Chain A
Amino acid sequence: MNNRTETLIPVVGVITDVRIDTPDVKTFRVVTPEGKKAFDHMPGQCAMLSIPGVGEAMFSITSSPTNTEFMEFSIKKCGCVTDWLHQAEVGQQITIRGPYGRPFPVEEEFKGKDLLFIAGGIGLAPLRSVINYCRHYRDDYGKIDIVYGSRSMDDLVDYKEIVDEWTKDTNVDVHLTIDREQEGWDGHVGFVPNFVKELGFDTNKTAIICGPPIMIKFTLQAMVELGFNKEQVYTTMELRMKCGVGKCGRCNIGSKYVCKDGPVFRCDELDELPDEY
């Protein structure tokens, strides 16, 4: 029996780096005790991290699949498992299993297209994986626009990487915004949905939105106003999960399980599902 693979049984992972991103977001670098990447994944997929005795929770894998050395997780402090992780130091072991879920269609639908990424707050975490994947295979994709907003300057996740790397890429435009005026900030101020409308993008782009549910809702409305079809817009969802493989029965929206059939959904697919997320 023990030679049969059991998805619920994780492997041990080690935290080899902890980066403080914002007052409540830290990015954790994880490898196996042998120093290798725990498993391969595609952008948008998730992994179950756990601390025995504390609990297990699903997180999107923030690092790009093109990183062959380690995985990264940007995690906001907001519950039992995340509180505990935020106290963890380098060298701390955790458990990890995955990858889970349907990734962004980077090889199919996204190829050759102009891409528009729109993120709010910690919503950048799942998008960072696909942004860096597309940057890695730069020639496969058209123009990349990134709209990113947060409550304040201090709440912008991966700010250093955005400024030092993303803004310097050719054919990549980064548009940052924060909710309220702040000293030392000379960029745009305002909510993401309005910012998107102000920027007014070409409707030939494929858009990827991630953020708090309310932000997704209003941004999607703004996109439709700009003339986008829902078929052009992708998002990634989050609901309570335990198993990660569509069996424990709690992350469903209608007949779809977010862990297995998502977390990535094309927005027109969501219209077919009951409004219960």
Chain B
Amino acid sequence: MRKFSLSVLSEVFAEIAKNATLYIPATDNAGGAKFTKWAEGVEYLETLNTVKSPKDFFFPHTEDLMEFKVTGKNIELFDIREESEDFVVFGVRACDVKSFDILDRVFLVDPVDTYYASRREHGVIISLACTRPAETCFCGTFDIDPATPAGDISAWKTEDSIYLEANTAKGEALLAKLDVLTEECDTEAVETQQEKIRKIMDKLPLKDLTTDSFGGGKTLDLFNSEKWAELSESCLGCGTCTFVCPTCQCYDIKDFNTGNGVIRYRCWDSCMFSEFTKMAHGNSRLSQLERFRQRFMHKLVYYPENNEGIFSCVGCGRCLSKCPISMNIVKVMKALGGEK
């Protein structure tokens, strides 16, 4: 394990930024935090969660896929894919790190999504243990330990220092570059820190939330539950939960005519939107109840059914704090029998 004093934080950032673009949580100038490209003067903001999750780094909100030039009856197609540049993200919380595994199981299975894969290969994740989990946190429900975050490098922040431990070859290579700024140390301070975190975890109001009632094989029971009507009653049908969610991965593919060619791009989509499943001759989910149910069934039943029991939620709590009507996965799970 290596450590460095908080007083040299900006030197460490500068060193990392020599070889790769570095992103750190910084103010969004509106009371929240967002991952911001580091440059001299960008201050690290100690925050629990950024408003938007870091899924943007691998699965951006919008991205151009290809271009076409149409001349008369002819079409020319341009593969505009470029290899991603190396980048490092510092300060990713344990829940968000786990979300990358969940996205990998979608984008990296055959046929591999090369846009995503390239970014994944070139990104290095430095996670950061949560010193102060909040009331909206329920990562423990999904067996995520905020005191031991995964990632290429795990980091812990104490009053005066940051401790680093590499978990992967990519992480080791990066840590090696920081040799001069960091020093070898024992794990005592980190263990003390972990103790403190676990004490807070024991006090979290959502600590008893369980996944026992959910998972593969429970489709028909849960799908036909009468609770959905009540739960979805006041859902506005907006995409807030989807767009702040680190694991929501639905997308749309659209064409944009620039006047000088056509760009085919991909953008996030939401199963909460009314036209998500609309076809020329009909729509398989006509009511908000059906759309609402789809979102939670996907996270709690369909995804685990296809992915060895892994749930498509990491308990980050973003939907809890951002939903305009304060309806969220916790309330859904409790209503459907998910509390000890």
Contact = CB atoms under 8 A, between A and B. Distances in A.
Q: CB–CB under 8 A between A and B in the complex?
A: yes
B18 interface: no
A95 B74 CA distance: 10
A87 to B, nearest CB: 12
A9 B277 contact: no
Given A78-B281, A252-B298, A52 B251 contact: no
A9 B114 CA distance: 11
A247 B75 CA distance: 27
Contacts of A11: 77
A223 to B, nearest CB: 23
A277 B294 CA distance: 13
Nearest to B117: A4
Contacts of B297: 254, 274
Contact of A274 (B66, B75, B220): B220
A253 B297 CA distance: 11
B75 A95 contact: yes
A276 B285 CA distance: 7
Contacts of A54: 255
A79 B68 CA distance: 22
A243 B255 contact: no
A120 B79 CA distance: 40
Nearest to B65: A8
- Is the contact region of chain B dominated by helix, strand, or loop, or is it mixed? mixed
Contact of B278 (A1, A10, A53, A240): A240
Interface in B54-112: 65-66, 68, 70, 73-77, 79, 81-83, 106-107, 111-112
Interface residues of B, number: 58
A150 interface: no
Contacts of A274: 219-220, 223-224, 297
A112 interface: no
Contacts of A273: 219
Contacts of B142: none
Given A93-B74, A242-B253, A254-B219, A6 B81 contact: yes
Contact of B75 (A94, A243, A255): A94
Given A8-B253, A93-B75, A240-B277, A250 B81 contact: no
Contact of B68 (A4, A53, A238, A255): A53
A2 B111 CA distance: 15
Nearest to B223: A274
Given A6-B81, A12-B77, A255 B264 contact: no
Interface string A126-144: 0000000000000000000
B197 to A, nearest CB: 34
Interface string B113-150: 11101100000000000000000000000000000000
A1 B251 contact: no
B280 interface: yes
Interface in A49-84: 50, 52-56, 78-80, 82
Contacts of B75: 12, 52, 93-95
A26 to B, nearest CB: 15
Given A93-B74, A247-B251, A254-B219, 4 more contacts: A11-B77, A52-B262, A79-B281, A254-B301
7 contacts: A12-B75, A12-B76, A78-B280, A89-B73, A239-B279, A242-B252, A250-B271
Sorted nearest first, the 3 A-B pairs with minimum C-beta distance are A79-B280, A249-B250, A52-B68
